[in-house]
Chain A
Amino acid sequence: MNNFKVQNPRKDLCFEIDFTNAYRDAIAQYTHPAQIELACLKAQYPAVLHPIEDEDVFAGRMEMGLIGLGIQGQTGGFGYYINEEKILEALENQSGDAKYREDLHDILTFWKGRNTYDIVLRNMPADIEEALPNDQWKVQPLPASPIIRMAGAFVDFHKLVKIGIPGMECELSAQLEKADAEGQDAVLYQSMLGALGVLKDVCFFYRDQIQEMARDAAAGKRKKQLEDLETALVNITERAPASMLEGLQLIWLYGLMCPLLQFGRLDEHIGDLYVHDIDNGIITEEEALAMVQTFFRLVDHLDSETDGRVVLGGYGRINPENADRFCLVALEACRTVKEILPQTTLRFNDDTPKEVWDAAMRCIEEGRTFPLLYNDEILVPGVMRAFDVERQLAETYMPLGCGEIEFDHYSFGSPNGSLNALKILELAIRGGYEPMIGDYLAPKVKTLAQCETYEEFLDTYKYLLDYFIDAQARFEKYQYDITGKIHPFMMVSMLYDGCIEAGKGIFGGGCAYLHGVLEVYGSVNAADSLGAIKKLVFEEKSLEAGDLVAAMDNNFYNQEALRKRLMDCPKYGNDIDSADAIYVHMHNFTCETIKSKAAKVGLESYLAAIINNAQNTTLGRWVGATPDGRKSGMPMANANNPSPGNDKNGLLAMLNSILKPSHDNHAGMVQNLRLSRELYDDSREKVYAVIDNYFDRGGAQLMISVVGREDLYNAMQTPEDYKDLIVRVGGLSARFVDLNKDVQQEIYDRVTY
């Protein structure tokens, strides 16, 4: 649950009570989901909106309720949602009169079974439920888990900015007329027009607030800003945006109503207005920057931890020249707004202007971790092959969230499942049995001890992977279907290609390209474990399967020598062909298997995502000791990176290894690089040469963290979390955690920020 960054959070649950009653009234009055949704939008906006803050150049702070309407889950919740835990807390802690307390109980019981999350889970077909019994991955040892949400809406803000609210109203009215004339379902169009009406109300809501603030403000810069904003807010209700301020304001308010967590190609949306305003002397560069900084701060205030993608650069933009000019402003905002969000993302290619690349490198060097770097030269062809689409569509690829790929305002590929490849290997070793629950968590198969060859065991593992992947694919389609019946998500649908023409909500048949994504975790550790099994159990025959499993059962207690032998087997990330080949083989198997399910379940495509977030830790918690030498519960490797500490051959070997998996059979893979600021300072050219070389040799993506003082301090406290951090010492690049404490201290002392 987010902690929206607003100055005065609400102190009671009156909004939640009002929303619930509005929903109650709506379902009594209407049956069409669009009408119900419209009633909820009216109840939610502007009720959840907060006043503009002193540093904001335009308006739009929000605090979603503990109950409400959302889409992704990370902002508020998914669909008609309730945060039961927090409501219970309120029940236990809050005062208020008897009616208020009755109402708190009411909303708790009303939404039980009626909220979208419960509906999705309770209606799950039995065959899917057998493989995916629940989504409690935080507390259960699950081999695979459904994720209840719709993540990754990238709406067509370029269109919105070009035609504005009135343009959209025109389009909808025309469709409405047509529907009436032809006896089609007109209710959706009517409700969409109603939703735009709510958006206008939101504009007036802020206009009223800002009018008052402007009146009370002392003469000067801020007063002028507020007055301009007041005008802008009225203008965008009457015509298409004609200035950068109007464009950003409209985008932002529209986005709040979705509510959006991905903001798309901001350079494409705003580039034309920015260039117009600058070239005509309407605004200064400083003012333009202030607007983008506000935008970035507002993205951050949603506090969603992940997502918040602002995508810059790359092929396929309608207005590349203007967009590139805007890129520089956006990168400067990235450099100066030092928050966790937005996740500024730079798609680069051979045409990327040097200034844009240099600005990006500057951000990274200063320790921002952004922008995330995406190499179009590799990814566009890769996406063409993975998704089986033409180049023109592939050029609109957008990384969402933690790295999954969709096509801008055309496709929706919510990552609604997570696969724990390491847990599944653990189960394969024990024939499907899970000691943590004392029962089978997978179909019964031969145990490792019962397999006579490595290939036989590998086939067992693959069989189980396929079993869970298959269930996940079916779940993905099921979740789209059931969501589509309840939620037209009008604000999103209106700006997704094809929905208005089709007269259908995005998940109700309106989306032009509906696909799915499966998040895969633990595959590096799984490959390393397979390597150890292959070598010691089957090739050298120096380890009995039974002894291995017994040691795993007991978390290597008093089995240090055995554990060390497992740890010393070749690992992915050291540019050793035997280890890397296993990883690449399993990568291809997993990706191809996932891909093959699309046709079966009726999706345009279904692809793997191997991405970077905290799941490697959260899911690793319930995986026991594994044959790569990893101890029970310890974090798994992250995304496409080697297990920290297992890359013993240094940075270059690691880069060589991570270049081996292909990029043409999945929907996103992430690689991290963590370097010290000092290394950068002393050897900048060489570091850049290595990064360039990585991309030239087929590197698709890179997230570079240049760490400063705080990380060095943390690395000294918990070295096991920083095994991958590389610093410069005595003319060499060395792993920070390998150095003695006083050397670490000295390096820390030398870093000034």
Chain B
Amino acid sequence: MSHTEEPTAMIFDIQQFSLNDGPGIRTSIFFKGCPLRCVWCHNPESFVRERQLYYSNMLCTRCFKCTEVCPSGALTETKYRGQTLLKVDHDACIACGKCETVCCYDAVKLVGRPYTVGEVLAQIEIGRPYYDIMGERGEQGGITLTGGEPMMHLDFIEALLARSGDIHVCMETNGYADPESYKRIAPKIDLFLYDYKVTGEALHTELCGVGSERIRSNLDMLYRMGAGIILRLPFIPGVNDSDTHIAAIAELMEKYPEIKWAEIMAYNNFGYSKAETVGLEDKIMNQPSADAADKEKWLGAFEKYGTNIRIG
């Protein structure tokens, strides 16, 4: 990237009024691309870095205008039992964006586009009147870098933070990036929302696509650097919520007493329907969302350890 060009990053959403991605009221910036492939991910459109086709069966009005302009055969008309339907082939999509220019119902579009620092700053400014208003109640709002995995966009993030002024910065991370990168960015991050997903190497690889050793060592490093950390724990009933996992979490929290608290992210199957829109339904699990009984059970299991834990 030439230093005369403005840096850009592939971002697939910027959400105002984010209420559960860090304290207070926040603006969440969702970066595209992630090295992990967690089977429960509820943002599967964030897996790949590149732009990709999104199609909503619900919003589609079957006008078929997109099929008239699609050059690659990703969107075609097909007949089935006397009905004309829209056939979507995500693999055939070349991300040319022609479909977006004719869909007036937001049913078909490309997920993600390159944003300049200036564009992201403009979005951050929209939320600026709101970041401090929970400050009096002990919850400082600001921005949350998330996604996907924001650590894949470090140059951009540094450029962004250099111009975002006095603002509280959270980063949601899976902890998998190389340690040097974390060292580099940590001084600029007020609070890490750090994922700890699965206990046991084999299971971690099976469920997330990568091993967990580096994740644990990065956590240790950041902790010793004095970084602000909240531990984020996706809990999926019957999948990763074993006694072993619970014990391991309790042990981590004991080992790192300065971690503010640990948050259980109870599984919901929101991600599955999103997966369908980007053609990833084979990669994402689908089971009933965790219910109140599950949450009670989990909290109960931590009681004997006295862990500082809550439902996120």
Contact = CB atoms under 8 A, between A and B. Distances in A.
A671 B65 CA distance: 36
B100 to A, nearest CB: 8
B126 A564 contact: no
Nearest to A574: B126
A560 B126 contact: no
A697 interface: yes
A211 B91 CA distance: 83
Contact of B102 (A564, A653, A683, A739): A564
Given A690-B133, A732-B15, A741-B273, A656 B63 contact: no
Interface in A610-634: 629
Interface in B24-69: 24-25, 28, 42, 56, 58-59, 63, 65, 69
User: For the side of the interface on B, what is the size category?
Assistant: 35 or more
B126 A656 contact: yes
B17 A651 contact: yes
Contact of B104 (A560, A651, A732, A733): A560
Contacts of B100: 564
Given A575-B126, A693-B133, A741-B58, A650 B19 contact: no
Contacts of B15: 650, 732-734
A689 B137 CA distance: 10
A685 B137 contact: yes
A651 B270 CA distance: 21
Contact of B17 (A629, A652, A697): A652
A408 to B, nearest CB: 34
Given A629-B104, A656-B129, A740 B17 contact: no
A686 interface: yes
Given A564-B101, A567-B104, A731-B312, A743 B273 contact: yes
B276 interface: yes
Interface in A662-693: 682-683, 685-686, 689-690, 692-693
Given A560-B65, A652-B17, A653-B16, A740 B42 contact: no
B16 A652 contact: yes
Contacts of A692: 133
B95 interface: no
Nearest to A689: B133
Interface in A691-739: 692-693, 697, 719, 726, 728-734, 738-739
Contacts of B2: none
A742 B130 contact: no
Interface centre among A650, A685, A734, A739 (most CB of B within 10 A): A650
B18 interface: yes
Contacts of B195: none
Q: Is the interface of A mostly helix, strand, loop or mixed?
A: helix
Given A567-B104, A651-B16, A743-B273, A732 B129 contact: no
A139 interface: no
Given A560-B65, A685-B134, A693 B129 contact: yes
A730 B268 contact: yes
Interface centre among B65, B126, B127 (most CB of A within 10 A): B126
Interface string A163-185: 00000000000000000000000
A634 to B, nearest CB: 12
A748 to B, nearest CB: 14
Contacts of A567: 104
Interface string A647-659: 0011111001000
Contacts of A575: 126
A387 B97 CA distance: 53
Interface in B271-297: 272-274, 276-277, 289
Contacts of A556: 104
A650 B127 CA distance: 10
Nearest to B265: A731
Contacts of A565: 101
B83 interface: no
B104 A563 contact: yes
B16 A649 contact: yes
A692 B134 CA distance: 11
B276 A740 contact: yes
Contact of B19 (A693, A728, A746): A728
A560 B65 CA distance: 8
Contacts of B24: 686
Nearest to B125: A575
A561 interface: yes
A441 to B, nearest CB: 28
A284 B268 CA distance: 50
Interface of A: 556, 560-561, 563-565, 567, 575, 629, 649-653, 656, 682-683, 685-686, 689-690, 692-693, 697, 719, 726, 728-734, 738-743, 746
Of all A-B residue pairs in the complex, the 7 with the closest CB atoms, nearest first, are A731-B20, A740-B273, A650-B16, A560-B102, A652-B16, A560-B65, A733-B17
Given A689-B137, A739-B270, 4 more contacts: A561-B101, A650-B16, A726-B17, A741-B273
Interface of B: 15-21, 24-25, 28, 42, 56, 58-59, 63, 65, 69, 100-104, 106, 123, 126-127, 129-130, 133-134, 137, 268-270, 272-274, 276-277, 289, 312
17 contacts: A560-B103, A563-B104, A649-B123, A656-B126, A683-B19, A686-B19, A686-B24, A689-B25, A692-B133, A729-B270, A731-B21, A732-B28, A740-B273, A740-B277, A742-B269, A746-B268, A746-B269
